[in-house]
A = this chain, B = another copy of it.
Amino acid sequence: MKVVVKLTGKLFDLGNVDILKSYCGIFRERFLRGYRFVIVCGGGSTARHYISMARRLGVNESWSDLLGINISRINALLLNALLGDITYNYIPRNVDEVLTAWSSGKVVTLGGLQPGQSTNAVAMIIAELVGADLVVNATDVDGVYDKDPKKYSDAKLLPRVTINELKNLISSRSEAGTYELFDQLALSIAERSRIKIYFVNGFKPENIEKVLDGINVGTEVIYT
Protein backbone atom coordinates (compact mmCIF):
# COMPACT_ATOMS: atom_id res chain seq x y z
CA MET A 1 0.00 0.00 0.00
CA LYS A 2 1.38 3.39 -1.06
CA VAL A 3 0.52 6.26 1.27
CA VAL A 4 1.28 9.97 1.15
CA VAL A 5 1.11 11.67 4.54
CA LYS A 6 0.98 15.43 4.89
CA LEU A 7 2.11 16.52 8.37
CA THR A 8 1.19 20.01 9.51
CA GLY A 9 4.27 22.11 10.20
CA LYS A 10 2.87 22.85 13.62
CA LEU A 11 4.06 19.43 14.76
CA PHE A 12 7.59 20.74 14.47
CA ASP A 13 6.93 23.95 16.32
CA LEU A 14 6.46 23.47 19.95
CA GLY A 15 8.85 20.72 20.66
CA ASN A 16 6.20 18.05 20.15
CA VAL A 17 8.90 15.53 20.83
CA ASP A 18 6.67 12.68 21.89
CA ILE A 19 4.27 13.06 19.00
CA LEU A 20 7.12 12.97 16.48
CA LYS A 21 8.51 9.89 18.19
CA SER A 22 5.12 8.20 17.96
CA TYR A 23 4.94 8.95 14.25
CA CYS A 24 8.37 7.46 13.71
CA GLY A 25 7.36 4.30 15.51
CA ILE A 26 4.26 4.00 13.34
CA PHE A 27 6.06 4.68 10.05
CA ARG A 28 8.84 2.25 10.93
CA GLU A 29 6.54 -0.54 11.95
CA ARG A 30 4.29 -0.16 8.88
CA PHE A 31 7.26 0.20 6.52
CA LEU A 32 8.60 -3.13 7.72
CA ARG A 33 5.18 -4.62 6.99
CA GLY A 34 5.42 -3.42 3.38
CA TYR A 35 3.75 0.00 3.43
CA ARG A 36 5.44 2.64 1.31
CA PHE A 37 5.36 6.23 2.58
CA VAL A 38 6.01 9.69 1.23
CA ILE A 39 5.81 12.21 4.07
CA VAL A 40 5.31 15.86 3.19
CA CYS A 41 6.05 18.27 6.05
CA GLY A 42 4.64 21.76 6.42
CA GLY A 43 6.62 24.79 7.52
CA GLY A 44 4.97 25.71 10.80
CA SER A 45 5.80 28.66 13.00
CA THR A 46 9.48 28.88 12.02
CA ALA A 47 8.38 29.27 8.42
CA ARG A 48 5.99 31.99 9.47
CA HIS A 49 8.78 33.69 11.42
CA TYR A 50 11.01 33.90 8.34
CA ILE A 51 8.15 34.90 6.05
CA SER A 52 7.13 37.73 8.33
CA MET A 53 10.72 38.89 8.65
CA ALA A 54 11.02 38.76 4.85
CA ARG A 55 7.89 40.86 4.43
CA ARG A 56 9.15 43.50 6.81
CA LEU A 57 12.27 43.64 4.65
CA GLY A 58 10.21 44.12 1.48
CA VAL A 59 10.92 40.69 0.02
CA ASN A 60 8.26 39.62 -2.50
CA GLU A 61 5.84 36.69 -2.19
CA SER A 62 7.77 34.17 -4.26
CA TRP A 63 10.97 34.66 -2.32
CA SER A 64 9.02 34.59 0.95
CA ASP A 65 7.56 31.30 -0.25
CA LEU A 66 11.08 30.03 -0.91
CA LEU A 67 12.06 30.78 2.66
CA GLY A 68 9.01 28.94 3.98
CA ILE A 69 9.68 26.03 1.65
CA ASN A 70 13.20 25.72 2.94
CA ILE A 71 11.99 25.64 6.53
CA SER A 72 9.54 22.88 5.64
CA ARG A 73 12.51 20.96 4.23
CA ILE A 74 14.31 21.28 7.53
CA ASN A 75 11.27 19.80 9.25
CA ALA A 76 11.50 16.97 6.75
CA LEU A 77 15.19 16.62 7.56
CA LEU A 78 14.48 16.36 11.28
CA LEU A 79 11.95 13.63 10.61
CA ASN A 80 14.45 11.96 8.32
CA ALA A 81 17.07 11.97 11.05
CA LEU A 82 14.59 10.34 13.40
CA LEU A 83 13.55 7.64 10.96
CA GLY A 84 17.15 6.62 10.28
CA ASP A 85 17.98 3.85 7.82
CA ILE A 86 14.43 3.27 6.58
CA THR A 87 14.47 6.66 4.85
CA TYR A 88 16.08 7.98 1.74
CA ASN A 89 18.63 10.29 3.36
CA TYR A 90 18.11 13.34 1.21
CA ILE A 91 15.27 15.85 1.09
CA PRO A 92 14.11 16.12 -2.55
CA ARG A 93 13.81 19.68 -3.85
CA ASN A 94 11.90 19.10 -7.08
CA VAL A 95 9.77 16.52 -8.85
CA ASP A 96 12.71 14.76 -10.50
CA GLU A 97 14.38 14.30 -7.13
CA VAL A 98 11.17 13.05 -5.54
CA LEU A 99 10.89 10.34 -8.17
CA THR A 100 14.52 9.37 -7.77
CA ALA A 101 14.03 9.15 -4.02
CA TRP A 102 10.91 7.08 -4.48
CA SER A 103 12.83 4.66 -6.70
CA SER A 104 15.01 3.77 -3.71
CA GLY A 105 12.16 1.85 -2.13
CA LYS A 106 12.63 3.76 1.12
CA VAL A 107 10.48 6.23 3.04
CA VAL A 108 10.72 9.65 1.38
CA THR A 109 10.41 12.82 3.46
CA LEU A 110 10.12 16.23 1.88
CA GLY A 111 8.83 19.75 2.37
CA GLY A 112 7.62 22.23 -0.23
CA LEU A 113 8.74 22.28 -3.84
CA GLN A 114 7.82 25.52 -5.51
CA PRO A 115 6.58 29.05 -4.74
CA GLY A 116 2.86 29.55 -5.20
CA GLN A 117 1.75 26.14 -4.05
CA SER A 118 1.09 24.76 -0.58
CA THR A 119 2.59 21.57 0.84
CA ASN A 120 -0.96 20.21 0.53
CA ALA A 121 -0.69 20.59 -3.22
CA VAL A 122 2.74 18.97 -3.11
CA ALA A 123 1.23 15.98 -1.32
CA MET A 124 -1.43 15.61 -4.02
CA ILE A 125 1.01 15.93 -6.94
CA ILE A 126 3.37 13.38 -5.43
CA ALA A 127 0.45 11.08 -4.66
CA GLU A 128 -0.59 11.15 -8.28
CA LEU A 129 2.97 10.67 -9.54
CA VAL A 130 3.70 7.62 -7.41
CA GLY A 131 0.23 6.20 -7.82
CA ALA A 132 -0.60 6.43 -4.11
CA ASP A 133 -3.62 4.55 -2.79
CA LEU A 134 -4.27 7.07 -0.07
CA VAL A 135 -3.43 10.58 1.13
CA VAL A 136 -3.65 11.32 4.84
CA ASN A 137 -3.66 15.03 5.57
CA ALA A 138 -2.66 15.34 9.22
CA THR A 139 -3.67 18.85 10.12
CA ASP A 140 -4.21 20.87 13.31
CA VAL A 141 -7.94 20.32 13.57
CA ASP A 142 -10.02 17.16 13.69
CA GLY A 143 -10.93 17.24 10.00
CA VAL A 144 -13.09 19.33 7.72
CA TYR A 145 -15.80 21.45 9.39
CA ASP A 146 -18.83 23.17 7.99
CA LYS A 147 -17.38 26.47 9.22
CA ASP A 148 -13.94 27.57 10.42
CA PRO A 149 -13.64 25.79 13.81
CA LYS A 150 -11.16 28.40 15.01
CA LYS A 151 -13.74 31.13 14.63
CA TYR A 152 -17.03 29.40 15.31
CA SER A 153 -17.50 27.30 18.41
CA ASP A 154 -20.53 25.58 16.86
CA ALA A 155 -18.61 24.42 13.78
CA LYS A 156 -19.51 20.82 13.03
CA LEU A 157 -16.97 18.18 12.00
CA LEU A 158 -17.96 16.49 8.74
CA PRO A 159 -17.22 12.74 8.59
CA ARG A 160 -17.58 12.87 4.84
CA VAL A 161 -17.31 15.71 2.35
CA THR A 162 -17.66 15.69 -1.41
CA ILE A 163 -14.90 17.24 -3.46
CA ASN A 164 -17.33 19.96 -4.53
CA GLU A 165 -18.29 20.79 -0.97
CA LEU A 166 -14.59 20.97 -0.13
CA LYS A 167 -14.08 23.40 -2.99
CA ASN A 168 -16.73 25.71 -1.66
CA LEU A 169 -15.27 25.58 1.84
CA ILE A 170 -11.79 26.54 0.76
CA SER A 171 -10.69 30.04 0.07
CA SER A 172 -8.33 30.71 -2.76
CA ARG A 173 -5.91 32.92 -0.84
CA SER A 174 -2.31 32.30 -1.89
CA GLU A 175 -0.16 34.52 0.30
CA ALA A 176 2.96 32.69 1.54
CA GLY A 177 2.36 30.89 4.81
CA THR A 178 -1.39 31.36 4.93
CA TYR A 179 -2.62 28.30 3.08
CA GLU A 180 -5.27 26.40 4.93
CA LEU A 181 -6.13 22.73 4.64
CA PHE A 182 -5.97 22.63 0.86
CA ASP A 183 -5.44 25.04 -1.99
CA GLN A 184 -6.87 25.22 -5.53
CA LEU A 185 -4.03 23.20 -7.00
CA ALA A 186 -4.45 20.44 -4.42
CA LEU A 187 -8.15 20.40 -5.20
CA SER A 188 -7.72 20.17 -8.93
CA ILE A 189 -5.25 17.28 -8.61
CA ALA A 190 -7.66 15.55 -6.25
CA GLU A 191 -10.49 15.99 -8.73
CA ARG A 192 -8.63 14.56 -11.66
CA SER A 193 -6.88 11.71 -9.84
CA ARG A 194 -9.71 10.74 -7.47
CA ILE A 195 -7.22 9.53 -4.87
CA LYS A 196 -8.70 8.64 -1.48
CA ILE A 197 -8.06 11.48 0.99
CA TYR A 198 -8.55 11.73 4.74
CA PHE A 199 -8.20 14.84 6.87
CA VAL A 200 -7.30 13.95 10.42
CA ASN A 201 -5.97 15.61 13.55
CA GLY A 202 -2.20 15.33 13.24
CA PHE A 203 -1.62 15.82 16.94
CA LYS A 204 -2.96 12.31 17.50
CA PRO A 205 -0.59 9.98 15.64
CA GLU A 206 -2.93 7.06 16.28
CA ASN A 207 -5.25 8.65 13.71
CA ILE A 208 -2.92 7.55 10.95
CA GLU A 209 -3.05 4.00 12.21
CA LYS A 210 -6.83 4.18 12.21
CA VAL A 211 -7.00 5.39 8.62
CA LEU A 212 -4.54 2.70 7.52
CA ASP A 213 -6.65 0.10 9.28
CA GLY A 214 -9.88 1.33 7.71
CA ILE A 215 -11.32 2.74 10.92
CA ASN A 216 -13.35 5.92 10.50
CA VAL A 217 -11.68 9.06 11.82
CA GLY A 218 -11.60 12.68 10.75
CA THR A 219 -13.06 13.51 7.35
CA GLU A 220 -13.07 11.43 4.21
CA VAL A 221 -13.25 13.13 0.81
CA ILE A 222 -15.87 11.63 -1.51
CA TYR A 223 -15.78 11.77 -5.29
CA THR A 224 -19.19 11.73 -6.88
Contact = CB atoms under 8 A, between A and B. Distances in A.
Interface of A: 12, 15, 17, 20-21, 46, 49-50, 53-54, 56-64, 66-67, 70-71, 73-74, 77-78, 81-82, 84-85, 87-90, 93-96, 99-100, 102-104, 106, 113-117, 121, 124-125, 128-129, 131, 172, 174-175, 184-185, 188-189, 191-193
Contacts of A49: 46
A128 B100 contact: no
Contact of A117 (B20, B102, B185): B185
Closest 4 CB pairs of A and B: A94-B94, A89-B99, A62-B128, A63-B81
B188 A116 contact: yes
A67 B57 contact: no
Nearest to A85: B131
A20 B58 CA distance: 12
A62 B125 contact: yes
A114 B104 contact: no
Contact of A106 (B15, B103, B193): B103
Q: How many copies make up the complex? A: 6
B128 A60 contact: yes
Given A67-B77, A74-B67, A96-B90, A115 B125 contact: yes
A111 to B, nearest CB: 11
14 contacts: A17-B56, A20-B57, A46-B46, A60-B131, A61-B193, A62-B125, A62-B128, A66-B129, A90-B96, A90-B103, A114-B114, A114-B125, A115-B129, A116-B128
Contacts of A87: 103
A91 B125 CA distance: 19
A103 B88 CA distance: 5
Given A70-B77, A94-B95, A125-B62, A56 B188 contact: no
